[in-house]
Structure 1
Amino acid sequence: MNKNTKVSVDHIQVGNFIRLPVSWKDHPFLFSSFKVKSQSQIELIKSLGIKDVIFDSERSDTDLLNTPNQASITSTDIKSDVSQLKDQMEAYKQAQIESQKKLRRSLKKTEQQFDRSLAMMRSTVSKLGSRPLNSVNDAKDMISNMTSMLMSSDDLVLHLMSDVKPGDLIYHHSMNVSVMCMMLAKGLKWEREEIELVGLGALFHDVGKLKIPSNILNKQVPLSTPEKNLLKQHPLMSLNFLKLADTFPEPAKAMIANHHEFLDGSGYPKGLKADKLDKFSQLITVVNEYDDLCNGTKLSKSKTPYASLGLIYKNYQEKLNPEYVGKLIKTIGVYPPGSIIELSSGQFGIVMSVNLNKILFPQIMVYDPIVPKEQAPIIDLEKEEISIVRCLPVSALPENIMKYLSPRERISYGIGNA
C-alpha cells in the first residue's frame, strides 16, 4: 500500500493517521490531518457524511481494518456521545482560533513597541556626538520604562519579531542583547539598579561598529587579517563614542569594553580572564554570543536558536559563565521563538512565542495546507498530547511550508504581556 491511500471510513480504526478531504471549516477537528484517538472520532467523521479519507501508513500505529466496520449510528447513546464530542471539539477549535487572534494582537502590539524602541535608539545614537548628555538621558528613560514592565509583571511572553530592515542590523542586535540581558538579570534576582545598568550597557555595546567602514562590515568574503583586527577594536570604539557622555555609568563602560572577552582569556580585544571580568561583563558576553550565533556575522553563518543554545551549552563551558548559560536556557526555553520544529504528529511549525512561566510549552504556529495561514491553529503540546520530535534548519523545509511559516532570516525578540 502507498504511503497515502484513499480508503473508506469503514476501514479505519484507532491508531490510524488520516487526512480529511474536506475544507478545514467543514469539520470540528483542530487539524485536517491527525491520528484517530477513539471510536467516537470515527463515528463523528461518519456523521459528517465523509465517505473516504486519506490513510498515512507511515504515521499510523495500527493497520487498516481488513473487514470493514459498517455499523451505523443508531443507538441513542452513541448519537448522544457523538453529538457531545462534536460540540466539545467545535468549542475547543473556536477557542484555539480566538487564542490565535489574541496572540496576533499581542504580537502586533509588541512589534509596535519594538519599532518605537528602535526609533528611539536610532535617535539616541545620532545625538551621541552633538548632545551626549541628552542622548544618555533618553537611553536611561527608555531602559527605565522597559525595567518597569519587566518588574511589574510575572506573566510575560517573549515574542518573535518581524525580519530586520536593511540598515537596522546593529540596532536590532543591540535591542536583542539589551532585552535578554535584562530578562536574565531579573531571573538572577539582581537589584533594579543592576538590571537598568546591564540594559543600558547592552544598548550601546556595539555602537563602535558605526565607525567601521561598511565595505568591511558587509563584506561577503572572509576578511583580511588587518580587517579582522580593525573589527576586533569595535568594543573600544564604542567607548570612544561615550567619552563626552559624563553621566554614563562606569560599570556599564566595563561591560561594553568586555563583551567579547571569554573566561579562559581567548576573547578580545585584551584577552582578559575570569578574575578580570565583572558579572555585568560575563552576562553580556553570554547573551551577545547567543545572538551572534542566531543571526550570524560576516565571519560565520547563522544557526537556529535551538542549535545556538546547544552549541553554547556544549562548546563554551570554559568560555562562558555556566550559571548565566543555564539561566539563558531556563529563561527562553529549549525551543526559543524562531525555532523551526517537527512535531510527533508529523507536522511542521515555527515557535512564535514563549510564556516565561511555561517555557516547556511554547506557542507554535503549525503548517496545515488546508488551513488559511491567518487562521493557523496554535498547538497546545500538553492538551493535544503532541511533542516536539526535533528542531530543523530552515533549509530542510519544502518551499510551500517555508512560505507558509515565514521563518525569519534574523531573529529578534520583543517582550509583551500574556
Structure 2
Amino acid sequence: MATGSPTPGAAPGSASRKPGELSIDATQVRVGVYVRIPLSWLDHPFLSSSFLVTTEEQVREIQALGLPVFCNPAKSKEKPLPNAALLAAQAQDEAAQQEKELQLTLLRQRQEAQRAAKAQRAEVMAQMRERLDVAQRQYIAATEQASGAFTQFGARPREAVEALTEVAGGSAALLLADPNSAIILIADKGRSQGEVMHALSVMTLALLLAKQLDLGEEALRQVGLAALLHDIGMRSLNMSIVRNPARNKHEQAIYETHCRVGAEQLMVQGGVVPPAVLQGVLCHHEAEDGRGYPRGLRGNEIPLTAKVIGIANRFDNLTNPIDPRAAVSPFEALGVMWARERSAFDEVLLQTFIRTMGIYPPGTLVQLSDGRTGVVAAAAPPQARLCPQVLVYDPDTPRREAIILDLAEPEVAQQLKVEKALRMQDRSEDELDYLLPRRKMSWFRGNNG
C-alpha cells in the first residue's frame, strides 16, 4: 500500500481533508489524538473511521496501515508528535527497530484476517438486507390482497373472508420463516394509520406468539384469520369516533360495539368462519381482570385466540397509535404492558410474548456505548439477550451500505453494548428517515382499534 495515496477501498471523499483537519503521518499519532482513517470501514480494523485514540494498541494499529491519516485538533486531547522526534526514537536501537518491524508484520497479518472477517460480515449484512427485501415484498403483496378483501367485504363478505383466510394461511407462513424481518417491517411502518397495515401487524404478532405456544397448523391459521378480522366491525362506525383518541363516555360506548358487530357480521356467513375466529373477534378487548368489553369476561372465560390477539393488538396500538405523537418504541411498549397493564393480560402469555420479542425488539432505536445511534435490526440470541444486531446511523454512508453490528460477536461485545433505548420523538427527522425509512408509508383509510 503506497504511503499517501488513496487506496482502492477508500470511501468516496474519505481521502480529502475536511475543514478543521490536519493531514499527518501515521508516525505522529499518539494517545489523545483524534484521527480519521481515509479508508472504507472494510479496509481497517476499527469499528468507526473517526475516533479518539485511547490506547497504544490503537497507535500501533494505525501505524501498521502505512498511510497518512487526518487529525482534528479541536477534538484531540493531545497534539500529534513531531515527525523528527519519532524518527529519532526509531533510530536509537536497530534491534528495537527490527522487533518493531516484526510486530508490524504480525499486525498486518492480523489486519488481513480482520479484513477477511469484515468481508464475511459484510456478506452476512447483504444477506440480511436481502431477507428484509423479501419480507417487504411479501408484506406488500399480503397488504394488497388484504386491502382488496376489506374493500369488497360489504358487498361480498363471504368472498372477502375466503381471501383473508388465504392471506392468513399463506403469507403468514412466509413471514414467520423470518420473524425478525417481519417484526421490523411492522415496527418500521410507524406513522402509518392504515386499517390493513394494523390488521397485518396484529396478525403477524399474534402468529409469532401463537407459534411459541406450539399450536397446530390449523389453530395457527385460525389465529391469523381472527387477527386479520378483529376490527372488521369498525367499518360500521363513524370514522370520527374511531380516530378520536379522547372519546367521551357516549362515544366510547359506541366504539365498544365494534367487537359484537364484527362477530355478528361474520356469524351470518355460516360455516366459512370457524368458532375460534368468531370468539377472537368478539372477545379481543376482554381483559384478564374483568375490566374489558363487551362482556367483562375474566381469566379462563376468555378464549385463547382472543387473549393472543389482545396482546398483539395492544402492542401495535402502543407503537403505532392514532396520534403519532403518542407513539412509544417497541422496547417501551413491552415495559408499559408488563409494568402498568399486566393485570389485563394472561401473565404467562405476556411473558412468552416478551421473550419472543426480546429485550430490545427489532425496530427499537438505541444508543450504543460509543455514542452512536442505531436501530435494532434483529433480536438478540437467547444466550445474549442484551446483544442484538444494530444498524448504525451514519449520514455519510448510504443506508443500503450501513454497518450492521452484531453485538453478540465476541470482538464487538468487548468494545460496544447498548447504552439505552431511545424515543422516536426525541430524534431528528434525518435520523428517523435513515433508521426507519418506512415509517411514513400511508396505507388506505385510517383505523386502529
- Tell me the TM-score normalized by structure 1: 0.83
Residue aligned with 2:408, SS: helix
CA distance in 1, matches of 2:407, 2:344: 35
> Which stretch of structure 1 is more off in the superposition, 360-369 or 195-204?
360-369
CA distance in 2, matches of 1:224, 1:78: 75
Matched, 1:377 2:403: yes
Describe how 1:34-73 pairs up with structure 2 within 5 A: 39-46=56-63, 47-54=65-72, 70=86
Q: Work out which structure has the larger RCO, using CA pairs closer than 8 Å and 6 or more positions apart in sequence.
A: 1
How far is 1:48 from its partner? Answer: 3.7
Structure 2 counterpart of 1:393, from 418, 423, 428: 423
> Which stretch of structure 1 is more off in the superposition, 301-310 or 4-13?
4-13
Higher helix share: 2
Structure 2 counterpart of 1:145, from 163, 167, 170: 170
Structure 2 counterpart of 1:277, from 291, 299, 302: 302
How far is 1:175 from its partner? Answer: 0.8
Query: What one-letter code is carried by the residue in structure 2 that aligns with 1:282?
Result: K
CA distance in 1, matches of 2:143, 2:265: 19
Contact between 1:23 and 1:370, CA under 8 Å: does it hold in 2? no
How far is 1:206 from its partner? Answer: 0.9
> Which stretch of structure 1 is more off in the superposition, 184-193 or 41-50?
41-50
CA offsets per residue over residues 75-130 of structure 1, 9 Å max, x none?
33122122113312322333333333222221111111001111111222233333
Q: Quote the residue 1:415 is aligned against.
A: none
Contact between 2:374 and 2:391, CA under 8 Å: does it hold in 1? yes
Matched residue count:
401
Change (3 A) 1:261 1:26: closer
Residue aligned with 1:160, SS: helix
Describe how 1:167-206 pairs up with structure 2 within 5 A: 169-206=194-231
CA offsets per residue over residues 229-270 of structure 1, 9 Å max, x none?
222221122223313321101121111111111111111222
Residue aligned with 2:390, SS: strand
CA distance in 1, matches of 2:142, 2:179: 21
Contact between 2:175 and 2:204, CA under 8 Å: does it hold in 1? no
Calculate percent identity across the aligned residue pairs.
23
Structure 2 counterpart of 1:315, from 316, 340, 343: 340
Change (3 A) 1:174 1:209: same
Larger Rg: 2
CA offsets per residue over residues 158-180 of structure 1, 9 Å max, x none?
44228659986111111111111
CA distance in 1, matches of 2:367, 2:343: 32
Change (3 A) 1:380 1:244: same
Higher strand share: 1
Matched, 1:12 2:30: yes
How far is 1:389 from its partner? Answer: 0.9
Q: Which runs of 5+ in 1 are unaligned?
A: 413-418
Contact between 1:350 and 1:407, CA under 8 Å: does it hold in 2? no
How far is 1:320 from its partner? Answer: 0.7
Q: Quote the residue 2:145 is aligned against.
A: 120
How far is 1:323 from its partner? Answer: 0.9
Change (3 A) 1:33 1:169: same
Change (3 A) 1:18 1:198: farther
Matched, 1:348 2:373: yes
How far is 1:155 from its partner? Answer: 8.2
- Tell me the TM-score normalized by structure 2: 0.77
Matched, 1:257 2:275: no
> How much is the aligned-residue C-alpha RMSD, in angstroms?
3.6
Residue aligned with 2:311, SS: helix
